[in-house]
Structure 1
Amino acid sequence: MATTMMNVNAVLVAITLALLTCSPRCIYSDDQRLMVNMTLVRNASALGAFCLDGSLPAYHLHRGFGGGARNWLLQFEGGGWCNSIKSCLDRANTRRGSTRYMSKWEVFSGILSNNASLNPDFYNWNRVKLRYCDGASFAGDAVYKNGTSLLYFRGQKIWEAIILDLLPKGLGQARKALLSGSSAGGLSSFLHCNNFTKYLPSTASVKCLSDAGFFLDERDISSNHTMRSFVKDVVSLHGLEKNLDENCTASSLNFPELCFFPQYALKFITPPFFILNSAYDVYQFHHILVPPSADPQGHWNRCKLNPAACNPQQLNTLQEFRRDMIVAMGLSYKYSRRGGFFINSCFGHGQSESQDSWFAADSPRVHNRTIAEAVGDWYFSRRATKEIDCPYPCETTCINLIPSTQALLQDLRSY
């Protein structure tokens, strides 16, 4: 009995020591998920950096250790955009437009995990999640007020304020850095990749990654430019044009808003860039290719919920969309020695922060490589990474070809 009690006490002491040595800003839940606390950028107001509703911007930082103590991974949070005063006012009263409504603790998984068996190349880096609350991929710079309503379109200032807050915390001495993001955050990686290098030492290895951020300038099934029109409204409302790449806008004088689309901005990005995307990205499928306005009778509803229910004509349209995405990346980028891409055929949206899709026993694979392996091989120049999956329905490694109806509707409501 005494021996048993001694063993129990030893275990309790070990647990206590483990908790004491954990960063005060992190906690592990029962299922061993890493939870990281929010950091508000207290001096953001001096820069005019506010969320849509005027609240302070924020990020979550989990410190690196060992060989990764001077390496940094910054992950932009995603969450769509707002393109009108009404939609932005609505957004300002949610977690997409205010840190007041955000969860104060975030799960760090996938590319943000601190577990070497789950994130072999970046687990011990300083990992930062930039919270998204401006509605324009961290790129706008304007203010709206009409006497009763006030909206801050300050995404560019938020980006700058967070970076300036991180520089004295070690980012300014980074040896390696990866700017990443998912969905609208993946688009942010395209928009800020060049600028990111200006804050870091000239000796640092700086690269960028976009997950589900390669939004296409594509006509919908009614031959309308629905997404182009939407983007034009976003750029105009948020005062975003001045923050787009100058070389790109100079080459698109008549339509500078096109530089919001990665396919036009990509060739002007100088750091090495990696594109992670599904060729059948469900957000683009449902909002760019087949938006509700283009299918008022709902002929595509069953196909949207289950690709096996698509008729031959619908499948052909999807295959044409896949082809256009690959072509839009450009032959010059395809054969670039420094760039990389992983284009699989899973019907999903965002794969870097989900552990199941990032790196697990049953993760999606292209040519027998997981996403984590492909990104790591590219970043560390171990092996060229330019993987394009075969067209649907040949893919057999996708965890879910398409989300469940309930999960899909919940995801779409967040945009």
Structure 2
Amino acid sequence: MNLIAALSMFALTLGPSFIYSESEEPERLLVKMTLVQEASSLGAYCLDGSLPAYHLHRGFGAGEHNWLLQFEGGGWCNDIKSCLERAQTRRGSTSYMNKWEVFSGILSNNASLNPDFYNWNRVKLRYCDGASFAGDAKFDNGTSLLYFRGQRIWQAIIFDLLRKGLGNAKKALLSGCSAGGLASFLHCDNFTGYLPRNTSVKCLSDAGFFLEVRDISLNHTIRSFYEDLISLQGVQQNLDKNCTTSCYYPDQCFFPQYALPYIRTPFFILNSAYDVYQFHHILVPPNADPLGHWYHCKLNPAACSTNQINILQGFRKYMLAALSFFFEFSRRGGMFINSCFAHCQSESQDTWFAADSPRVHNKTIAEAVGDWYFGRRVTKEIDCAYPCDTTCHNLIG
């Protein structure tokens, strides 16, 4: 039995909600999974029919009545085959998930590692629907059964947390990484609607600003993928109505660049201008590079040709253009757009807040988010173009 498993068994006998492992890492916090037992009454199930779940670590002291909810990420499924495969993994079933999750970065309870949110109630929402918590449909052909119930999962978890103190929150932050970062865009205003009017509510997306952009073969790879996902999982009915009635076609509102102008809650966008997931799967997906010309460039940006770097710089410019209105006109919004080849930077201690964390204008991500949330100063940080940033040394590769 390994150390973490042994400690988990020991914790189960004592019944606490958290434990620390004996390692060189300071305060390695493990938080136990909570299944939402009443989810079935809402028809809220993971892809395989298992109950949804979250991990809650209670706040204390001055943060006792403040809440941070973090959507887990993990891609999507857009057809029956991929969703059936997903349903047999931790991405589609709580049955396959680790029952204890490490809380680090923005979820840490250590003031020296997470200075602004360490003593809040911090919650990780487990991801098991494959549509950024936004679908509401079901597939049943008599042989196979899949639940596309992301929207109901979101509601079931919120209802459960409201009873546990969220309903009395003084401050709240809805956050998420990757597909969870996209969920932050999709659910931000809805989250505000569940809370008292005097609650200070804000939202954060980490690596969730997925762009509607053509790939290097000039195909709409990500648009087509999302259209199939939206149709299969019944997502369109849950997209912002103001957006869907205003956009060229309703499915565009699954893309943050089109949804963002309609979000009323203060929002912070944390993203790399060279997001590696978008680089590898949206800009240069495998089917657009059958001969592998981009293989070495994907492994190491220093190996990219001049033409490849120019394409990557074009992607950065497109992202900044899509964010320009937000940068110029959103008085309550915040940004941290760095030039590290990274994907998800809020949950890792190395990138969130550490001695050698990435910085823009000598400010860490944690400092930028904290300054924005608490109104200490305007925070709209945009990095210079690759390769000028020397603080990305622990990410490139």
TM-score by length of 2: 0.95
* Residue in 1 that maps onto 2:137: 142
The Cα of 1:329 is off from its aligned counterpart by 1.3
Counterpart residue identity of residue 226, structure 2: V
Cα separation, 1, equivalents of 2:22 and 2:348: 18
Cα separation, 2, equivalents of 1:262 and 1:331: 13
> Which of 346, 351, 359 is residue 357 of structure 1 equivalent to?
351
Matching of residue 234 in structure 1 with residue 226 in structure 2: no
* Residue in 2 that maps onto 1:277: 271
Cα separation, 2, equivalents of 1:157 and 1:105: 23
Matching of residue 216 in structure 1 with residue 199 in structure 2: no
Cα separation, 1, equivalents of 2:44 and 2:142: 21
Cα separation, 2, equivalents of 1:356 and 1:332: 28
Contact 1:96/1:135, CA 8 A, preserved across alignment: yes
Cα separation, 2, equivalents of 1:45 and 1:322: 44
Q: CA RMSD in A?
A: 1.3
> Which of 152, 166, 173 is residue 171 of structure 1 equivalent to?
166
Matching of residue 86 in structure 1 with residue 81 in structure 2: yes
> Which of 345, 348, 362 is residue 368 of structure 1 equivalent to?
362
The Cα of 1:241 is off from its aligned counterpart by 0.2
Matches within 5 A, 1:178-217: 178-217=173-212
Cα separation, 2, equivalents of 1:114 and 1:93: 32
Matching of residue 248 in structure 1 with residue 243 in structure 2: yes
The Cα of 1:336 is off from its aligned counterpart by 1.6
Contact 1:334/1:386, CA 8 A, preserved across alignment: no
Contact 1:346/1:400, CA 8 A, preserved across alignment: no
Contact 2:327/2:380, CA 8 A, preserved across alignment: no
Give the match's secondary structure for 1:330. Answer: helix
Contact 2:326/2:333, CA 8 A, preserved across alignment: no
Contact 1:357/1:399, CA 8 A, preserved across alignment: no
Counterpart residue identity of residue 372, structure 1: A
Cα separation, 1, equivalents of 2:327 and 2:205: 14
Cα separation, 2, equivalents of 1:291 and 1:232: 17
Give the match's secondary structure for 1:206. Answer: strand
Give the match's secondary structure for 2:211. Answer: coil
The Cα of 1:255 is off from its aligned counterpart by 1.8
Classify 1:262/1:67 alpha carbon distance in 2 versus 1 (closer, same or farther; 3 Å): same
Structure 2 residue runs without a partner (length 5+): 1-10
Give the match's secondary structure for 2:139. Answer: strand
Classify 1:242/1:333 alpha carbon distance in 2 versus 1 (closer, same or farther; 3 Å): farther
Cα separation, 1, equivalents of 2:97 and 2:181: 20
The Cα of 1:25 is off from its aligned counterpart by 1.3
* Residue in 2 that maps onto 1:115: 110
Matching of residue 100 in structure 1 with residue 99 in structure 2: no
Contact 1:74/1:180, CA 8 A, preserved across alignment: yes
Counterpart residue identity of residue 200, structure 2: S
* Residue in 2 that maps onto 1:382: 376
Give the match's secondary structure for 2:381. Answer: strand
* Residue in 1 that maps onto 2:6: none
Q: How many correspondences in the alignment?
A: 383
Structure 1 residue runs without a partner (length 5+): 1-18, 404-415
Cα separation, 1, equivalents of 2:46 and 2:54: 12
Cα separation, 1, equivalents of 2:295 and 2:242: 41
Moved more, 334-343 or 144-153: 334-343
> Which of 16, 19, 34 is residue 24 of structure 1 equivalent to?
16
The Cα of 1:398 is off from its aligned counterpart by 1.1
Cα separation, 1, equivalents of 2:231 and 2:201: 31
Matching of residue 312 in structure 1 with residue 312 in structure 2: no
- Choose 1 or 2 for highest CA Rg: 1
1:97-138 Cα deviation digits (max 9, x unpaired): 000000000000000000000000000000000000000000
Cα separation, 2, equivalents of 1:334 and 1:228: 27
* Residue in 2 that maps onto 1:51: 46
Counterpart residue identity of residue 162, structure 2: L
The Cα of 1:333 is off from its aligned counterpart by 4.1
Give the match's secondary structure for 2:167. Answer: helix
Displaced runs of 4 or more, over 4 A = none
